[in-house]
């Protein structure tokens, strides 16, 4: 309300100023009295020139008058009287022989007309300036905030919640703009929280599914051992009561094994439901000490014998700790599952080029098992999403392990490659800082 009043007051002041200027500039001009002494002096000079033989036409041009002599003189004099001209007798030798006429009123009218035109132009300029000032004020204090909010609504409709709404000084919609910007900030924060929650949920599901598989496999293996022992025991027992007890234990052991299979199947279904979006997980590489990678390998105690052939070159590398640990776990876990041999790890320094063609230095991590390797015609496909090789038909899995390995390594600025070399080899490349 105060800004609307302010604009109204400014406009009224401008218009009052224009009115005062108009009144001052259009005051009626008071006509000055004729200076008869000057006219008498001028007529005396005209008499002298006339008596000296100067032609009448030359005198009229020089003194801006009309000398009416002879025929038609009376008519010229009457027209001069009608036009409020100064008409005097023309008597160079003392006797009037005609009339001399000064039409000074025409000159004054021309001057008045020119003055009026100037005043009209000045008035027009004042009104124009007042209108422009008013338009600027309207645009600055009313239209620009509305345009800002319209632009913000358009950006929000596109899903862009990162563009702040400018909060300007002397904005009549200041409270509305601030509230609108707070709403945008809250929407952005809410969306970020939703994304983080969804990401955390998917990661939790994947991690739980992966972690549950190991104890379930242990339970199932234990049940198989118990079943064999109970079957042997049944063959050795002779008393009916002992046989019944052994069969009861065997049935319960088989039930446990069956339930373990059900748990693995259910977790597999849950895990499969999240696989399509696992590759959207963010990877945030940071500068890390390369020696941390050795710790990851030393912490893998469930995958057989892991042999570190040489220490990793000490340096800084670009990596995401969590994703790099997942990559190593995936690669070593696959080798253990499909080959079941010792796993050899070797570190080297190498050079390559980034996607822009610039030279880059890498730490190469060579992970090799002593198994039969993969069929050569399947190696180009093993890092594809959902692809499972022919040697994995009797193994549980979804064909995502090596795909995620390649994805995570590329998002860290490095890469991955696979090949056969007296066993299956996975080469991981981490970019050095």
pLDDT of residue 429: 93
For residues 248 and 291, state if they share a domain: no
Once rounded to an integer, what is the mean pLDDT over residues 209-227?
70
Task: Tell me the pTM.
Answer: 0.42
For residues 167 and 33, state if they share a domain: yes
pLDDT of residue 426: 94
Q: Which residue has the higher pLDDT, 187 or 365?
A: 365
For residues 54 and 138, state if they share a domain: yes
CA distances for 184 relative to 153, 172, 189, 255, 414, angstroms: 10, 20, 9, 56, 37
Domain residues for the domain of 318 are 286-431
Q: What percent of the chain shows pLDDT beyond 90?
A: 15
Kindly give, in sequence order, each residue whose CB lies less than 8 Å from that of residue 85, ignoring residues fewer than 6 positions away: 101, 102, 103, 104, 105
Asked, for residue 321, whether it belongs to a domain, the answer is: yes
| 316: CATH | 3.30.565.10
Asked, for residue 162, whether it belongs to a domain, the answer is: yes
pLDDT of residue 416: 93
Once rounded to an integer, what is the mean pLDDT over residues 269-281?
57
Q: Is the pLDDT of residue 15 over 80?
A: no
- For 140-190, how does the pLDDT look when each residue is reduced to its tens digit (9 = 90+)? 777 777 777 777 667 767 777 776 666 666 666 666 667 767 777 887 788
Once rounded to an integer, what is the mean pLDDT over residues 183-211?
72
For residues 394 and 290, state if they share a domain: yes
Asked, for residue 144, whether it belongs to a domain, the answer is: yes
Asked, for residue 259, whether it belongs to a domain, the answer is: yes
Q: Is 113 exposed, middle or buried (0-12, 13-18, 19+ CB in 10 A)?
A: exposed
Q: Which residue has the higher pLDDT, 63 or 1?
A: 63
Pairing of strands 415-420, 424-431: antiparallel
Highest averaged pLDDT of the listed ranges 12-16, 117-121, 308-312, 385-389: 308-312
Return phi, psi of residue 344, to 5°: -105, 135
| Residue in the block written with tokens 């090949």 | 419
Q: Is the pLDDT of residue 25 over 80?
A: no
Q: Which residue has the higher pLDDT, 362 or 193?
A: 362
For residues 302 and 269, state if they share a domain: no
pLDDT of residue 419: 93
Do the beta carbons of residue 89 and residue 99 sit within 8 Å?
yes
For residues 87 and 65, state if they share a domain: yes
For residues 11 and 81, state if they share a domain: yes
Dihedral of CA atoms 408, 410, 415, 419 in degrees, nearest 10, equals: 60
For residues 119 and 145, state if they share a domain: yes
Once rounded to an integer, what is the mean pLDDT over residues 368-389?
83
Asked, for residue 351, whether it belongs to a domain, the answer is: yes
Once rounded to an integer, what is the mean pLDDT over residues 133-145?
75
For residues 302 and 250, state if they share a domain: no
Among residues 278, 304, 324, the one where a domain terminates is: 278
Overall domain count for the chain: 3
Among residues 126, 156, 172, the one where a domain terminates is: 172
Among residues 232, 247, 278, the one where a domain terminates is: 278
């Amino acid at each position: 309300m105060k800004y609307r009043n302010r604009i109204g007051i400014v406009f009224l002041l401008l218009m009052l100023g224009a009115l005062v200027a108009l009144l001052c500039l259009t005051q009626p001009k008071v006509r000055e009295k004729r200076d008869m002494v000057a006219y008498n002096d001028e007529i005396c000079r005209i008499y002298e020139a006339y008596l000296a033989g100067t032609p009448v036409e030359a005198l009229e041009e020089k003194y801006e008058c009309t000398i009416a002599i002879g025929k038609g003189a009376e008519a010229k004099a009457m027209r001069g009287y009608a036009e409020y001209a100064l008409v005097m007798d023309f008597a160079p030798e003392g006797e009037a022989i005609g009339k001399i006429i000064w039409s000074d009123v025409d000159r004054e009218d021309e001057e008045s007309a020119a003055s009026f035109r100037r005043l009209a132009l000045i008035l027009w300029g004042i009104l124009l300036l007042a209108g422009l000032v008013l338009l600027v004020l309207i645009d600055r204090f009313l239209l620009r905030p509305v345009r800002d909010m319209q632009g913000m609504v358009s950006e929000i409709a596109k899903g862009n919640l990162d563009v702040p709404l400018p909060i300007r000084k002397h904005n009549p919609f200041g409270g509305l703009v601030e509230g609108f910007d707070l709403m945008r900030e809250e929407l952005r924060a809410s969306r970020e929280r939703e994304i983080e929650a969804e990401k955390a949920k998917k990661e939790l599901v994947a991690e739980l599914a992966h972690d549950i598989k190991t104890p379930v496999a242990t339970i199932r293996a234990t049940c198989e051992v118990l079943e064999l022992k109970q079957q042997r025991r049944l063959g050795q027992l002779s008393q009916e009561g002992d046989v019944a007890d052994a069969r009861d234990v065997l049935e319960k052991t088989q039930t446990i094994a069956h339930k373990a299979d059900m748990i693995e199947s259910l977790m597999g279904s849950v895990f499969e439901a999240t696989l399509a979006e696992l590759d959207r997980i963010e990877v945030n590489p940071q500068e890390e000490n390369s020696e941390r990678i050795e710790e990851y390998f030393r912490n893998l105690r469930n995958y057989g014998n892991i042999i570190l052939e040489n220490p990793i070159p000490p340096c800084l590398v670009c990596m995401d700790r969590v994703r790099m640990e997942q990559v190593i776990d995936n690669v070593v876990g696959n080798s253990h599952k499909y080959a079941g041999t010792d796993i050899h790890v070797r570190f080297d320094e190498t050079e390559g080029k980034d996607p822009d063609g610039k030279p880059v230095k890498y730490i190469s991590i060579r992970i090799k098992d002593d198994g039969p390797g993969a069929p050569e015609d399947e190696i180009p496909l093993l890092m594809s999403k959902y692809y499972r090789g022919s040697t994995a038909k009797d193994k549980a899995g979804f064909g995502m392990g090596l795909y995620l390995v390649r994805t995570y390594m590329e998002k860290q600025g490095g890469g991955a490659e696979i090949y056969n070399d007296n066993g299956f080899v996975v080469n991981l490349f981490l970019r050095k800082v």
